[in-house]
Amino acid sequence: MQTSILGLLRHVSLSLSISLFFSVVSLISHRLAYLQALRFYGSYNVTVKDIRVINSPQTHIKFDSCDGVKVRNISILSPPYSPNTDGIHLQNTQDAEICDSYIENGDDCVSVQTGSSNLAIHDITCDGGHGISVGGLGRGQTQACVSNITVQDVVIRNSQNGVRIKTWQGGFGSVRSVTYKNIFVVNISNPIIIDQFYCDGTKCKNQSSAVQVSGINYHNIRGTYSKSSPLHFACSDTVPCTSISLAQVVLLPQHGYYVDDPFCWNIYGNSETPTIPPLHCLQHGTPPSKGIKQSSIDDSC
């Protein structure tokens, strides 16, 4: 039985202007444990606006295999430690805009998964949870393709992560052309992170192939961090992160925490302006071709 609300719309513009309340307390049957408040599948030209979604047991709003999506002026509210309560989840979705919204939840504020491209995320506030994530990608040695993502004019506060790209070892494909601009972070454990060794706590063996991460731009990222490294770049041994660009990145420790150094592993790019803290571990230019797993880099997406 499919408990999600499915958007099976073709070339139809849908506008929702009601308040939706999903209270975990009111869900008596355990069969509803995987309920998603709203799910749109195979939909075109969808507009979701002026709604409030509260305490969805799992993902609040999900777009799967959609084209032409606009999300505007919505509120999502769930407890900060509620598991798997992604705010907005996009997979295999193209040409989407998410703006003018407030998301307070226990998992990814916005989650971008494989097959997604041409996404604009701007003028939103994320509170609690895991920040804005691309991935995890490539799980189970699968192909992942994500490109042309812009995240701009966003506030992220009291979150585990700020802006994050995460991939599993053993996958293939690419994440390309992602821009983070004008991001203000407050009390974030990991403000900027690329993790090509992502593992959700299960045993994850070392594998040589990886989803290629390239053309990632960080511009005007400012704010405070706590507990961990403010810049964390853990890239694959055989498929390094390339063309990583930073400018006007200023990250300071939250009151009561100490300054921590950035972490880099096999990352190549440039700093257009000095970063705070200094990113001395960034390798400039391009990686040597020797030892790079070319088949992973050249996977067609």
Verify whether residue 130 is a known catalytic residue: yes
Residue 95: C-alpha distances to residues 10, 98, 124, 140 (Å): 15, 10, 18, 27
Q: Out of 64, 86, 107, 108, which one is annotated catalytic?
A: 107
Verify whether residue 127 is a known catalytic residue: no
Contacts of 209 (CB under 8 A, 6+ apart): 141, 169, 170, 171, 172, 238, 239, 293, 295, 296
**Long-range contacts at 270-276 (CB < 8 A, ≥ 24 apart):** 270/244, 270/245, 270/246, 271/245, 271/246, 271/247, 272/245, 272/246, 272/247, 273/246, 273/247, 273/248, 273/249, 275/231, 275/246, 275/249, 275/250, 275/251, 276/249, 276/250, 276/251, 276/252
Q: Out of 64, 89, 127, 130, which one is annotated catalytic?
A: 130
Catalytic residues: 107, 130
